[in-house]
Structure 1
Amino acid sequence: MTTIIGFAGYSDSGKTTMVSLLVPYFEERGIKVAVIKHDAHGHYKEAPAADSTLFIRSGASASVVLSPDAVRTYERKTVTLQDTVERLKGSYGLILIEGFKRESYDKIAVFRTEEQARIVQQLAVPPIACIAPDRKLAEAAAPDIPFFSMDAVESIAEFIRSRMKNP
């Protein structure tokens, strides 16, 4: 059974860093992890001089690069988060989602400042925990939910693991 946990926060709140620290924790314990990142503004670009980028720029609807240990696919199409989650579910024990604050998956709010803490009010559903630099800031933004400091990666991982159906 796949567990899905989101990380929501504004730009520069620490979401990407946290997800990148959690991935090896689970992978080293035999739990395959997929990460889905929200690119709400369409900023992501393939490497500028890569062949696959040239194919996309030339108008290809898809460009697929097959390597000995990976597949990289770039497609011009619209898919929903739910479509992507459904496609990945059977192959991964854990799906970590970065962004998508308006989706109703379980989320951990990530913030560094009082201003960034406003993310808690913008989520589709209340967060299941928060990651912040200190307890006072966390409790002001999201009282009565678990709080983790930014450097408590193992504790955050264990919290997520406690929510997994088959850890």
Structure 2
Amino acid sequence: MISFITSNKGKYVEARAIIDGLEQKDLGYTEIQADTLEEVAVYGINEIMARLKEPAMLEDAGLFIEALGGFPGVYSAYVQKTIGNEGILRLMDGISNRKAFFKSVVVYSEPGLEPRMFQGIVEGQIGHEARGSSGFGYDPIFYVGEKSLAEMELAEKNRISHRAASMRALDEWLEGR
């Protein structure tokens, strides 16, 4: 059994579809202000391992918009809570370069093991409107091809998403040990 440390039920559902034997635990951990998702994730797992002393993982992800210099990036969760998808769409109003990517960093550790990191990226673009009712967060405004992530069923999203890629990489490493 691996404890997936997250309060986000959507992340847990997506991860559980890829990795067997996950248990969601909403333990909370310090999300430091840092320049990279990797720094945030490693700090978090080290804090968790000091308390938990069992196999655990966490995931940090960010939306990086090219025309906004990579914003919101490592601040994606805060930006989602404060200005949301409508705020991002307003920031993008009149901007023709709508290229963006999602990046996911999964970090795993267990007693006696240095943290192992796995990442996934999906490239797409910011749409002109929010579409779809599946998923969570920025999914309604992040498009891959003609569809937003929120218009995709879980299986379709998990074939292409950043989170699915990082989770699959962890799963392959775990199976290969």
TM-score (normalised: structure 1):
0.32
Structure with greater strand percent: 2
Larger relative contact order, structure 1 or 2 (CA cutoff 8 Å, min sep 6): 1
Structure with greater helix percent: 2
TM-score (normalised: structure 2):
0.30
